[in-house]
Amino acid sequence: MKIVDFHCDTISQLYDIRQKGEDIHLRQNRLHLDIEKMKKGDYMLQVFASYVDLGSNDKPLESCLSYIDLLYNEVQKNKDDIGIVYTYEDIMTNIEKNRISALLSIEEGGVCKGNLSLLRNFYRLGVRMMTLTWNYDNELAYPNGYFYNEEKNERKGLKEKGLEFINEMEQLGMIIDVSHLSDDGIYDVYNNTTKPFIASHSNARNICSHQRNLTDDMIKKIGDRGGIIGINFYSLFLNDNYKFNDISKIDDIINHMKYISNKGGIDCVGIGSDFDGIDCLLEFENSSNMQLIYDKMQKLGFREEDIEKIFYKNALRLFKEVL
């Protein structure tokens, strides 16, 4: 079964590990995801996030550019197996050539410093998706919780610059990603846009009450707009009974798929693993074994056409409409 995954932090991890002196590459490594694992897992497309932690990084723009540069270099070295895509047509071309597609995203809109020219230049560099925040407020918006405490920001929406950014992103054809965004921020995106937007790596709050997850009404609104919610594999976002570092289970991942499908429609469900951005163990270990999720869904009686939608067809439909 082909796979489109809306979120991983692999490139940022590769960069940080290299900075510590280890010779590590995208071709094959010890992380959740590499080219060999994706080939074994039958990947069609992976969204590679340039993840930037504003709380610990005093040069966020430079870091983001370094991550993007690293991805381009790694893809160039493996161009027979993987290619960066900018349009839906590029994805189709890679499918014909039996190449994995790599789509660039940014996880932290604060790297743009509220400057629309930086946003446009990131688009020119190939970025086709961006979260407005990570776990800190910035010039655009507020997160749904700060990284180092439990303070919540549900009632803080987009800032004025954030409204300008989502308008520009729609004009450019850059997908708006509301994962990490405050509750009111998500509603501000819904009320001030017309195109589908995504929550690249978020789950259902009614199953797991973590503030990073989405309410039923948010799920419905994302579905009504034609957007997609990528199911996050992090144990703390899957089940309230999980503790830090508990193993993420396939059954819990599928429970969120079923729940979100029931609330927002089958067309709004996707995969957003957060590979190499999560520190828990996985029942299926890494990206090479994603077919174990497919096997379990088959055993549970999912229709083949619904599995196909969740694994890749919903994503292709959105890319065709937005990119």
Q: Could you tell me if 99 and 38 are in contact, meaning their C-beta atoms sit under 8 angstroms apart?
A: no
Q: Could you tell me if 108 and 129 are in contact, meaning their C-beta atoms sit under 8 angstroms apart?
A: no
Q: What is the C-alpha separation between 309 and 52, in angstroms, rounded? A: 31
Q: What is the C-alpha separation between 271 and 300, in angstroms, rounded? A: 18
The rounded Cα 294 to chain-centroid distance in angstroms is 20
Q: What is the C-alpha separation between 124 and 126, in angstroms, rounded? A: 5
Specify which residues 250 forms β-bridges with: none
Q: Could you tell me if 269 and 232 are in contact, meaning their C-beta atoms sit under 8 angstroms apart?
A: no
Within 20-145, where are the H helices?
A: 35-41, 60-77, 88-96, 116-125
Short-list 308, 310, 269, 275, CA closest to 289: 275
Amino acid at 288: S
pLDDT in tens, the chain (323 residues): 999 999 999 999 999 999 999 999 999 999 999 999 999 999 999 999 999 999 899 999 999 999 999 999 999 999 999 999 999 999 999 999 999 999 999 999 999 999 999 999 999 999 999 999 999 999 999 998 755 455 565 568 999 999 999 999 999 999 999 999 999 999 999 999 999 999 999 999 999 999 999 999 999 999 999 999 999 999 999 999 987 778 999 999 999 999 999 999 999 999 999 999 998 889 999 999 999 999 999 999 999 999 999 999 999 999 999 99
**Taking the model in full, what pTM does it have?**
0.96
* pLDDT at res. 242: 85
User: Which residue ranges make up each domain of the chain?
Assistant: 3-322
Q: What is the C-alpha separation between 296 and 298, in angstroms, rounded? A: 5
Q: What is the C-alpha separation between 275 and 259, in angstroms, rounded? A: 22
Q: Quick one: DSSP state of residue 285? A: -
In CATH terms, 3-322 corresponds, of 3.20.20.140, 3.30.70.120, 3.40.120.10, 3.40.50.800, to 3.20.20.140
| DSSP annotation string for 133-173 | -SSS--SS--BSS-TTS----TT----HHHHHHHHHHHHHT
The rounded Cα 40 to chain-centroid distance in angstroms is 21
* pLDDT at res. 149: 52
Short-list 282, 305, 290, 232, CA closest to 39: 290
Tokens 């083949």 — which residue? 304
Per DSSP bridges, beta strands 43-51 and 3-8 are parallel
Amino acid at 21: G
